Chain A
Amino acid sequence: MSAFVGKYAEELIKTANYIATPGKGILAADESTGTIGKRLASINVENIESNRQALRELLFTSPGALACLSGVILFEETLYQKTSDGKPFVEVLQENNVVPGIKVDKGVVELAGTNGETTTQGLDSLGARCAQYYRAGARFAKWRAVLKIGPTEPSELSVQQNAQGLARYAIICQENGLVPIVEPEILTDGNHDIKKCAAVTEIVLAAVYKALSDHHVLLEGTLLKPNMVTPGSDSPKVAPEVIAEYTVTALRRTVPAAVPGIVFLSGGQSEEEATLNLNGMNKLEVLKPWTLSFSFGRALQQSTLKIWAGKKENVEKAQDAFLARCKANSDATLGKYAGGSAGGLASESLYVKEYKY
């Protein structure tokens, strides 16, 4: 029942610790082709490979931004892409001390007999794929499980199934040299209050860590990517301090100290909200044995995307916006964010009901 200590154990621990460096966080740039298509459509840009490449190049070559990041999650296509000068993205990241990561799940499918609950696919041949990604330079992976809150949700089935999926994915990653980011996202959809979200989060995380233990996952070589604990999307908002307190309490009750870092997802929060909440958590004067940081997709890219609008002449301004968000979140991981980076766009909610990732 001891944790699996394979040939990559030391490297996994080292990588996980590095990613959890205070002052740094993760850019989630792993939107699938379909999803990135939606992003590009929102700025009237065609969903072709060169545009996807251009967007990612914009992000990865933003001056100063990479210094705020310890990792970037990539989609498979991007792992093999290059800059317009012909330099592999992976190299750009590595040269700037940013660890390349790779999304390895194959999306969600519905669990028959439930009320729209899902499980995540992607275990078939996962070992071989991870080994291949390792050769290509990836050193961590990500797999997103999704749960929802409702009158009878999450069901026991959904909790167990998603926890088991995460645990299998995690151990397969570790066998093949990738630090698994464990992501059990509980969607904000609904009119429940923050207490309900807290209770569900605690139940889900308890099940996740039980499954990880049963599957011999080496906790020191993992990261957690949970949702923050917030009221439902249809409920009145609460202050960042409240979100911080509920979130950290839930994590203190469920996440063992062996886990080096917790990198929050932003869900549908606006860029500014996500930063303020993260900051609130890091200001809390209570013992947190893991780093609390970010793994943001929309909450890092939204303004940048809008400012770019697909036009070369906007690249510099877009990169400035990206840097501003990276810096803000970097400060937030240290509890030092002073506000003020909330331009109009940064305060725009990014919530989409029943968001299909």
Chain B
Amino acid sequence: MAASASLLKSSPVLDKSELLKGQALRQPSAVSVVRCQPVSSSSLTVRASSYADELVKTAKTVASPGRGILAMDESNATCGKRLASIGLENTEANRQAYRTLLVTAPGLGQYISGAILFEETLYQSTVDGKKIVDILVEQNIVPGIKVDKGLVPLAGSNNESWCQGLDGLASRSAAYYQQGARFAKWRTVVSIPNGPSALAVKEAAWGLARYAAISQDNGLVPIVEPEILLDGEHGIERTFEVSLKVWAEVFFYLAENNVLFEGILLKPSMVTPGAECKDKATPEQVADYTLRLLKRRIPPAVPGIMFLSGGQSEVEATLNLNAMNQAPNPWHVSFSYARALQNTCLKTWGGRPENVKAAQETLLIRAQANSLAQLGKYTGEGESEEAKKGMFVKGYVY
């Protein structure tokens, strides 16, 4: 541990002026994004996406300073759990009411650059007949869409899962693009208590790579999300180790699938101890390990890294993000939070129309806090007790 600590002190510190210069990024749009894969026959397969420029632009827009993503793509079943927690029935009307509350929060676009939707919501309108997608665009928020079809048991593994959704993904993605989505999200998981087995890691990485290539082919910026679950008693070093392996595989397969790195976003888990580990880590330690991971595995061409909160409390998630932004990074380091943005808001609403405004205010408070954290300026003043409550659920099924 001592060796690791001093390693951090002597790790290269990026010169701030060099980075600021680079932020006025001249996109190599003159450079064709063609990548050729030599094949054993004499012809070359050339892959070029007609959406390349748009993908790069969208990714940069989502990865804009002071902003992050609101993940509101809970499946109907999961949304049902949320509604149940405030005593509401899982009906389309209630889901519609809740999502309307979220997207109409005034000025949300100041802190939120993108919103991930579930399929139902992408095609939904408010009770006034206005399309949710249109509201988001008016709010200067890029609409995104969850495209995976959930986790199922991985045969031959150690009780691990894999993520489904590749069948028909191309035509679905094209349809989502038509409907106004401009980015996609696919969440696969890796479990440390279950290994993870080499098979599970490979499958997770390969599935993500295939999804990413198909998304880009159909105009959607893929958010690449291999969530390393918080469950377990392991320490932060073990999480670090597993993360290094997972990300190496992910990027290798992304490269093999000719994915354009300037047109993707990442959604990793932060490097923390397991939820049931005796030792807790400070935000500085989490930042330390997480940044080391990123610097070792993430090519600078990737424009944005939007962390998931994975069961951390609202305040924890904000503090950790803030700690990661105390010095300039080669990529935009931000958030893509669901529970860590919505929790207090949901509870404040409680399903009552008269609480909508107050609930929206709490959403804006969390959004602003995370916006400040993205800029490294979060001070933590005035946080409520509710916001500090952990949201880890053992064996959580998303």
Chain A residues with CB under 8 Å of chain B are 1-3, 5, 9-10, 13-14, 17, 151-155, 195-196, 198-200, 202-203, 206-207, 209-210, 213-214, 219-220, 245-246, 248-249, 252-258, 260, 284-289
Contacts and interface: CB of A to CB of B under 8 A. Distances in A.
B120 interface: no
Given A257-B330, A287-B23, A13 B11 contact: yes
Interface stretch (B156-164, B174-182, B237-245, B372-380): B237-245
Contacts of B295: 256-258, 289
Contacts of B11: 13, 220, 258
A220 B7 contact: yes
Interface of B: 3-4, 6-7, 10-12, 14, 18-19, 21-26, 28, 30-32, 34-38, 40, 42, 44, 237, 240-242, 244-245, 248, 251-252, 255-256, 261-262, 292, 294-301, 330
Given A1-B245, A210-B251, 8 more contacts: A1-B248, A10-B7, A13-B12, A203-B35, A207-B252, A249-B28, A258-B11, A258-B296
A14 B6 CA distance: 12
B25 A256 contact: no
A9 B22 CA distance: 30
A284 B25 CA distance: 9
Given A206-B252, A255-B299, A284 B26 contact: yes
25 contacts: A5-B4, A9-B7, A13-B12, A17-B10, A154-B38, A196-B44, A199-B36, A200-B38, A206-B252, A209-B251, A213-B244, A213-B296, A213-B297, A214-B248, A219-B296, A220-B12, A246-B31, A252-B299, A252-B301, A253-B261, A253-B262, A257-B294, A257-B330, A287-B330, A289-B19
Contacts, number: 138
Among A3, A153, A286, chain B packs the most CB atoms within 10 A around the CB of A286
Contacts of A288: 18, 22, 300
Contacts of B28: 245, 248-249, 286
Nearest to A149: B38
Contacts of B240: 2
A260 B13 CA distance: 10
A6 B188 CA distance: 34
A245 B31 contact: yes
A257 B244 contact: no
A258 B248 CA distance: 14
A285 B26 contact: yes
Given A151-B42, A253-B261, A285-B26, A1 B300 contact: no
A206 B252 CA distance: 6
Given A1-B245, A152-B40, A256-B295, A14 B10 contact: yes
Those 8 A-B pairs whose CB atoms lie nearest each other, nearest first: A287-B22, A206-B255, A213-B248, A199-B36, A1-B245, A252-B301, A258-B295, A210-B252
A199 B34 contact: yes
Contacts of A198: 31, 35
Given A206-B252, A257-B298, A287-B300, A5 B241 contact: no
Contacts of B31: 198, 245-246, 249
B296 to A, nearest CB: 4
Given A199-B35, A256-B297, A285 B24 contact: yes
Contacts of A200: 36, 38
A129 to B, nearest CB: 26
A195 B30 CA distance: 12
A299 to B, nearest CB: 25
A151 B30 CA distance: 26
A199 B32 CA distance: 11
Given A213-B248, A254-B255, A287-B23, A13 B10 contact: yes
Contacts of A287: 18-19, 22-23, 25, 300, 330
